[in-house]
């Protein structure tokens, strides 16, 4: 079963007696704030969740978007109306690279019926589907966050995976090669990591590539059943879309997902004793 849901599929589910819970996870590193976009229009019934303050802890030595405290995350999800036995659909502005963080956190918490809207808000509105400015007041959900249902890596395990398996870097090529670093302390990548930009998961219209296309792309990078695989990015957000893409491609499964390095480059680059490779070569 794919972790993606199409706009037409979602439209049908929203007509059912017990529709899925909708989470709006729009966010942009350079702004405007996602909440402002949400207030200008969102899917009917969708609740906004903030990446910085609700889907992450405050920045610290663990990186720019450390995993949230489980108790706090449970409070956020319950306030959004998330039930343990009711499906959830998450979306962002378009390509899913941000909403995938909510998808991953829900799976990490133990929720299995979580889907990401293919094409996001852009695809929904381009098709003329309804939006609203009304903020819903959902009944409190009953989800119990049981963290650890998705595998994670710390810096040492990420270093080892880059040598013994496949560690995918979801950042743009310029940041991977060390030619540009607009946010973090140092430029470069984890030695041995392979570049797999999250932007290349989707086509020009913002919808995800077909599973077979993604499978071909990842297989060329060395992903196979015989090798463990993990992903990182700048701060552990976009890398969640790599985890999702590997599952959508059929190269991993809900029972054996790819690992996520939550601290990602923002944690790695903060320690001057950790090496940084540059250039196109993994190093």
The residues assigned a catalytic role are: 233
- Rounded CA-CA distance 81/139 in Å is 6
Q: Buried (b) or exposed (e) across 210-247, using 16+ Cβ within 10 A? A: ebeebbebbeeeebeeeebbbbbbbbbbbbbbbbbbbb
Inter-residue contact 94 to 120 (CB < 8 Å): yes
Could you tell me if 187 and 180 are in contact, meaning their C-beta atoms sit under 8 angstroms apart? yes
Distance CA 144, CA 132 (A): 30
Decide: 282 and 191 in contact? Cβ < 8 Å. yes
> Alpha-carbon dihedral of residues 197, 202, 208, 209, nearest 10 degrees?
-90
User: Do residues 89 and 117 make contact, with C-beta atoms less than 8 angstroms apart?
Assistant: yes
Contact indicator for 17, 106 with CB cutoff of 8 Å: no
In order of 4, 7, 42, 190, 266, the CA distances from 233 in angstroms are 21, 28, 28, 10, 8
């Amino acid at each position: 079963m794919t972790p993606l849901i199409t706009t037409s599929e979602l439209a049908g589910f929203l007509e059912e007696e017990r529709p899925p819970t909708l989470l709006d996870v729009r966010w942009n590193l350079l702004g405007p704030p996602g909440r402002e976009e949400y207030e200008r229009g969102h899917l009917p019934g969708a609740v906004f969740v903030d990446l910085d303050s609700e889907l992450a802890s405050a920045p610290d030595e663990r990186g720019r978007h450390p995993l949230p405290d489980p108790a706090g995350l449970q409070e956020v999800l319950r306030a959004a109306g998330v039930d343990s036995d009711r499906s959830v659909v998450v979306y962002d502005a378009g390509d899913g690279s941000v909403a995938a963080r909510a998808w991953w956190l829900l799976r990490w918490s133990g929720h299995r019926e979580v889907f990401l809207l293919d094409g996001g808000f852009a695809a929904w509105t381009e098709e003329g589907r309804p939006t609203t400015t009304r903020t819903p007041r959902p009944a409190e959900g009953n989800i119990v966050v049981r963290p650890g249902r998705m595998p994670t890596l710390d810096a040492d395990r990420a270093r080892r995976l880059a040598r013994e398996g496949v560690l995918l870097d979801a950042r743009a090529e310029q940041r991977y090669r060390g030619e540009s670093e607009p946010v973090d302390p140092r430029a470069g990548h984890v030695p041995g990591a392979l570049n797999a930009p999250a932007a290349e998961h989707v086509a020009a219209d913002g919808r995800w590539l077909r599973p077979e296309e993604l499978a071909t792309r990842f297989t060329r990078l060395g992903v196979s059943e015989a090798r463990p695989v993990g992903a990182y990015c700048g701060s552990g957000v976009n890398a969640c879309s790599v985890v999702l893409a590997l599952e959508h491609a059929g190269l991993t499964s809900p029972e054996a997902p790819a690992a996520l390095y939550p601290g990602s480059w923002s944690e790695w680059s903060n320690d001057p004793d950790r090496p940084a490779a540059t250039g196109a070569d993994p190093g």
